[in-house]
Amino acid sequence: MVKIRALFEYNWYCRGKFLDAMAKLPWEKLVENREASFNSMRNIFIHSLEAEQLWFRRLSLGERPKHDYDQDFKDIEAMERYMVEVESESRDYLKKLEPSDLDKVFTWLSKDGATNSFHIEDVLMHVVEEEIHHRGELLCLMWQIDATPPYTSYTGYLAETKKEK
């Protein structure tokens, strides 16, 4: 239980550093179609937030997030507001989560009508993994434009946050 929370804290820490780094880039670079998973760096970043929000809302029986990236995220400030919203919802869910909840089975219907069932712990690990995959993608896209991505390993995060305390 503690490790899952720690992994989310790590993801949120790194996500904030990536947003700060992206804020230093020209907006045109963030929205340029780079033929990546969700085309632009902005869209990849927002998709990662939506994925986290989607899973936590599914687990809480909430509504699916729906955004028009071009209309809803026209600047870095809108991206940051959404990041704060998503992380707040996620923190609220994790605060209420008991260790015994991790073994509970969560079932939902996919778009194609198939029934899916996984332990809550597995769903949460998927959310962590999804974020890390897309953060790697952002890292590579930043390298391609000669921008230095704010890579932080998990042990680097532990060392940095230990100093901050």
Q: For residues 78 and 55, what is the distance between their CA atoms, to the nearest angstrom?
A: 21
> String of b and e for 75-102 (b: at least 16 CB within 10 Å)?
ebebbeebbeebbebbeebeeebeeeeb
Q: Could you report the per-residue pLDDT of 123-144, keeping only the tens digit for each? A: 999 999 999 999 999 999 999 9
Boundaries of domain holding 110 = 2-164
Res 64: pLDDT: 82
Res 159: pLDDT: 93
Q: Are strands 105-109 and 115-119 parallel, antiparallel or unpaired?
A: antiparallel
Structural domain count of the chain: 1
Q: For residues 140 and 37, what is the distance between their CA atoms, to the nearest angstrom?
A: 12
Q: Is the pLDDT of residue 1 over 60?
A: no
> String of b and e for 20-54 (b: at least 16 CB within 10 Å)?
ebbeeeeeebbbeebebebebbbbbbbbbbbbbbb
Per-residue pLDDT, averaged over 16-33, amounts to 98
CB 81 within 8 A of CB 65: no
pTM for the model stands at: 0.93
Q: For residues 83 and 69, what is the distance between their CA atoms, to the nearest angstrom?
A: 14
Res 46: pLDDT: 98
Q: 164 or 18, which is more confident? A: 18
Res 109: pLDDT: 84
Res 52: pLDDT: 97
Q: Could you report the per-residue pLDDT of 31-67, keeping only the tens digit for each? A: 999 999 999 999 999 999 999 999 999 998 778 889 9
CATH number at residue 158: 1.20.120.450
Q: For residues 86 and 41, what is the distance between their CA atoms, to the nearest angstrom?
A: 18
